[in-house]
């Protein structure tokens, strides 16, 4: 049945568009596709399976939470999250920053082709293209320019920190989280499609919390990189921070202002690990910022469900992709309802931060880098009760 729907959509696209639509490039990524080929149902199913398997292996929370994404947007969600993993793995797979920069440019070119309607024969690009075609067939005339800009924003942020350079301040770390994890959520909201300041505002806080927590979770793996090619859920979280699991010299990626305030020295962490002076105080301080964003999102959700306003302004209002037109057809409460499945990463982040507190902010505890078995039923409970 799914294949039949795919064929109908693709045939419709072919009949309504120029022959570049619904095709993929068969030439190298730097060369124009003079002889594109038709994307088949088999190509789409293979791309969908590839992306789902990538999530299951390297990002189990996102794999679990896909069930809360509306079916019409699930292919977009899988391709967006798989794209994130592909970028996250680049430091694991390259030998030096120059090669890493070339891989980042490869993904920029892939996206440019995909949004132009001629994706390369690459699973993430094929599934994203199919999702975009489906979105445009359901909503004729819809613009995807903001989505393309957001994808590029994620690439730029990951490339900036690919060499394990330190975050100069807590604000710099927060900006990184906004440019990556929050932006992934904006992309998913756009695929629903939902252009809502309310939903984006919620996603901004939740994405910042998730990104900050990911930096903390990956800290031991960046400070003490595992052997090369040890690709696992753990190394994925490591490289998701812009770090490397390829055996390079370790680094402590806590914000420099926090390290100075708490007296943490990088050499002490390398020598003493979890027992380094001031380290737990620094972890506590960073984790508190992540938890503050979750608390803010939770209070916003309560206010909106009661028909009140969010309680504070959206700081990114007016930036690219965040221009809004007031709608008389839906309320803030309606927008929250439509977006709630996209906001479920808040549950996974909250569970991890609670576990971090349980272990007294010892980020080196191995229990903090295993899959959270409670996530499926905690997420279901939160979703059905509309609580995060």
Q: Which residue has better confidence, 227 or 136?
A: 136
Indicate whether 76 belongs to any domain.
yes
* Sequential DSSP letters for 134-200: HHHHHSTT---HHHHHHHHHHHHHHHHTTT-PPPSSHHHHHHHHIIIIIHHHHHHHHHTT---HHHH
Cα gap 180→174, rounded to integer Å: 10
Mean pLDDT of the chain, nearest integer: 87
- The pLDDT tens digits of the residues spanning 78-90 come to 999 999 999 988 9
Indicate whether 331 belongs to any domain.
yes
- The percentage of the chain sitting over the pLDDT mark of 90, rounded to a whole number, equals 71
Q: How many residues does the chain have?
A: 388
Contacts of 89 (CB under 8 A, 6+ apart): 58, 231, 236, 239
Cα–Cα distances (Å) from 55 to 232, 287, 331, in that order, read: 11, 25, 34
Residue 58 has pLDDT above 60, yes or no: yes
pTM: 0.86
- pLDDT for residue 23: 54
- pLDDT for residue 310: 87
Indicate whether 185 belongs to any domain.
yes
Cα–Cα distances (Å) from 169 to 173, 181, 259, 302, 345, in that order, read: 7, 18, 9, 31, 25
Q: How confident is the model at residue 95 (pLDDT cuts 50, 70, 90)?
A: confident
Cα gap 351→353, rounded to integer Å: 6
Partnered with residue 38 across adjacent β-strands are 23
Cα gap 276→256, rounded to integer Å: 16
What is the mean pLDDT of the segment spanning 20-40? 52
Q: What is the dihedral of CA 350, 352, 355, 361, to 10 degrees?
A: -100
Cα gap 347→177, rounded to integer Å: 17
Helix or strand holding residue 23 (H, E)? strand 23-24
Q: Quick check: helix, strand or coil at residue 44?
A: helix
Cα gap 316→323, rounded to integer Å: 9
- pLDDT for residue 149: 97
Helix 123-138 × helix 2-16 angle, to 10°: 70
Indicate whether 257 belongs to any domain.
yes
Indicate whether 16 belongs to any domain.
no
Indicate whether 14 belongs to any domain.
no
- pLDDT for residue 230: 44
* Sequential DSSP letters for 278-327: THHHHHHHHHHHHHHHHHHHHHHHHHHHTT---SS--TTTTSTT------
- pLDDT for residue 320: 87
Range of the domain at 327: 2-7+40-385
Q: Which residue has better confidence, 133 or 5?
A: 133
- Residue 342's CATH number: 1.10.600.10
- The pLDDT tens digits of the residues spanning 160-189 come to 998 888 899 999 999 999 999 999 999 999
- The pLDDT tens digits of the residues spanning 253-272 come to 999 999 999 999 999 999 99
Q: What number of CA atoms fall less than 13 Å from residue 352's CA on the CB side?
A: 28
Q: How confident is the model at residue 227 (pLDDT cuts 50, 70, 90)?
A: low
Cα gap 213→119, rounded to integer Å: 33
- pLDDT for residue 38: 82
Q: What's the total number of domains in the chain?
A: 1
Cα gap 63→81, rounded to integer Å: 9
What is the mean pLDDT of the segment spanning 11-26? 42
User: What is the CB neighbour count within 10 angstroms for residue 353?
Assistant: 20
Tell me whether residue 112 is exposed, middle or buried, using C-beta atoms within 10 angstroms of its C-beta: 0 to 12, 13 to 18, 19 or more: middle
- The pLDDT tens digits of the residues spanning 288-308 come to 999 999 999 999 999 999 988
Estimate the share of the chain in helix, then strand, then coil, as percent rounded to the nearest 5. 65, 0, 30
Residue 56 has pLDDT above 70, yes or no: yes
Residue 363 has pLDDT above 70, yes or no: yes
Indicate whether 310 belongs to any domain.
yes
- pLDDT for residue 228: 57
Indicate whether 23 belongs to any domain.
no
């Amino acid at each position: 049945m799914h294949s039949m729907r795919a064929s109908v959509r693709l045939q419709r696209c072919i009949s309504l568009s120029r022959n570049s639509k619904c095709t993929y490039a068969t030439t190298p990524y730097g060369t124009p596709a003079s002889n594109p080929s038709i994307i088949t149902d088999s190509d789409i199913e293979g791309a969908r399976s590839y992306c789902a398997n990538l999530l299951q292996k390297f990002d189990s929370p996102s794999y679990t939470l896909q069930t809360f994404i509306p079916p019409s947007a699930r292919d977009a969600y899988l391709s967006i999250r798989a794209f994130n993993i592909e970028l996250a793995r680049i430091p694991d797979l390259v030998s030096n920053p120059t090669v890493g920069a070339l891989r980042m440019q490869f993904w920029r070119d892939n996206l440019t082709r995909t949004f132009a309607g001629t994706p390369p024969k690459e699973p993430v690009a094929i599934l994203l293209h199919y999702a975009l075609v489906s979105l445009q067939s359901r909503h004729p005339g819809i613009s995807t320019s903001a989505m393309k800009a957001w994808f590029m924003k994620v690439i730029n942020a990951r490339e900036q920190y690919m060499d394990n350079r330190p975050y100069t301040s807590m604000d710099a770390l927060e900006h990184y989280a906004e440019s990556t994890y929050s932006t992934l959520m904006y992309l998913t909201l756009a695929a629903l499609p939902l252009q809502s300041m309310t939903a984006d505002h919620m996603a901004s806080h939740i994405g910042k919390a998730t990104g900050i927590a990911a930096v903390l979770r990956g800290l031991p793996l960046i400070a003490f990189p595992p052997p090369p090619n040890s690709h696992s859920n753990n190394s994925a979280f490591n490289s998701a921070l812009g770090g490397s699991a390829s055996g390079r010299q370790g680094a402590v990626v806590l914000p420099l202002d926090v390290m100075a305030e708490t007296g943490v020295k990088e050499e002490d962490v390398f020598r003493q690990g979890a027992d380094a002076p001031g380290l737990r105080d620094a972890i506590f301080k960073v984790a508190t910022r992540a938890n503050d964003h979750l608390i803010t999102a939770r209070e916003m959700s309560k206010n909106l469900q009661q028909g009140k306003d969010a309680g504070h302004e959206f700081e990114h209002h007016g930036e690219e992709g965040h221009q809004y037109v007031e709608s008389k057809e839906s309320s803030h409460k309606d927008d929250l309802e439509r977006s709630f499945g996209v906001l479920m990463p808040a549950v996974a982040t909250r569970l991890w931060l609670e576990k971090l507190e349980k272990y007294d902010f010892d980020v080196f505890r191995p229990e903090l880098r295993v899959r959270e078995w409670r996530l499926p039923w905690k997420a279901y409970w939160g979703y059905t009760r509309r609580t995060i």
